[in-house]
Structure 1
Amino acid sequence: MDGLDPNPIIKEMYIDCRPDTLFPFLIDPQKMVMWMGSQVLLEPKLGGALRIDFNGTDMVAGHYVEVEPNERVVFTWGWIGSDTFPPGSSTVEITLHEQDNGTLLILKHSGLPAARRPTHLAGWNYYISRLELVLLGVEPGPDTFASPTTDPKGERN
């Protein structure tokens, strides 16, 4: 088993929209696939399921730990089929803070295996940028990060 990285990934981004506009993109499957995943199952309630299929091969699964509308979402995260980073083995917390007629999004991903940190850091940078584009009304284009040759899990490459 990989050792856990003691330092969580923390990403902050100001997005030019209100939290009540941004929040549905974190909990609504039809909105989420606009920026992350090709198919998603989201049950945004305490204990509800979360599953993100990136490319038909690589899938994340977990469950919701906390859902505070327009303020905060916390869910577990891990890779289906992974022995070293299984479903639900790490935690993603996204908080939304209203700021200057927009939103400061803060993402914290903790409990990551150290060997998976670089790929997840690159992935969150990529997907948060796609989320911002979608919220600005820009089509982000094909999800090149999730191609099977890229392997978002970081296990094959």
Structure 2
Amino acid sequence: MKKLCIISFLLIATSTLVAQTNYEILERNLPYNKFATSFTGNIIGTSENFVMYHWQKYIEKHGGTTYLVSNNEANVEFESEHVAFPFIKNELVTLHTRFTPNDRGTGVLITLWIEFKDGTFYSSKTHEDSANKIKQWLLAFDQEIMKMNGTH
């Protein structure tokens, strides 16, 4: 009986660990500007509409306003103006965000790049200290979505 309880516990614990997603942020240079950095995350287990709606609310918490720029089939792009970014000297920036279904159809890819007032784009090469903070900011958004969606 004792062995059965231990085995049951281990099976439940293992299945819980497997169900959790390892959310990573991929950091890449933009194809048209090698000095600009984009950040891409894969939010699993939710719909594109759900993520986009809550992204707009998340941006509002940071003082920004979000506009739809493009809606081509499954690729949706937003522009969020006047977003206060505390990890870039509290500078007001414009966020460009693209939402697409992931390759497996199990979630949403969210890609973000940051434009400064002078028209230049954020680069982790020139702002090394803030790249990890931006990743943490996107991770916080993922955690918020997972809690609302009941997948965490």
TM-score w.r.t. length of structure 2? 0.50
Higher RCO by CA contacts (8 Å cutoff, separation 6 or greater)? 1
Cα 1:11–1:98 change in 2 (3 A) is closer
How many residue pairs align between the two structures? 105
Question: Match of 1:113?
Answer: 122
Identify the match of residue 96 of structure 2 among 87, 91, 96: 91
Question: Match of 1:53?
Answer: 60
Question: Match of 2:79?
Answer: 76
Q: Secondary structure at the match of 2:106?
A: strand
Higher strand share: 2
Report the Cα offset of residue 60 of structure 1. 1.6
Higher helix share: 2
Q: Secondary structure at the match of 1:113?
A: coil
1:129 counterpart letter in structure 2: Q
Report the Cα offset of residue 14 of structure 1. 2.5
Question: Match of 1:103?
Answer: 106
Cα 1:23–1:13 change in 2 (3 A) is closer
How far apart, CA to CA, are the structure 1 residues paired with 2:35 and 2:81? 15
TM-score w.r.t. length of structure 1? 0.49
2:142 counterpart letter in structure 1: I
1:12 counterpart letter in structure 2: N
Percent sequence identity is 8
Task: Encode CA deviations 1:40-66: one digit per residue, 9 max, x unaligned.
Answer: xxxxxxxxxxxx331xxx412242112
Q: Secondary structure at the match of 1:93?
A: strand
Cα 1:12–1:81 change in 2 (3 A) is closer
Question: Match of 1:25?
Answer: 50
Asked if the contact 1:8–1:108 (Cα under 8 Å) also holds between the matched residues in 2, the reply is: yes
Task: Encode CA deviations 1:108-133: one digit per residue, 9 max, x unaligned.
Answer: 11235344543322111111122122
1:121 counterpart letter in structure 2: K
Which structure has the bigger radius of gyration?
2
RMSD: 3.6
Q: Secondary structure at the match of 1:79?
A: strand
How far apart, CA to CA, are the structure 1 residues paired with 2:35 and 2:57? 24
Identify the match of residue 64 of structure 1 among 40, 62, 68: 68
Asked if the contact 1:78–1:85 (Cα under 8 Å) also holds between the matched residues in 2, the reply is: no
Report the Cα offset of residue 9 of structure 1. 0.7
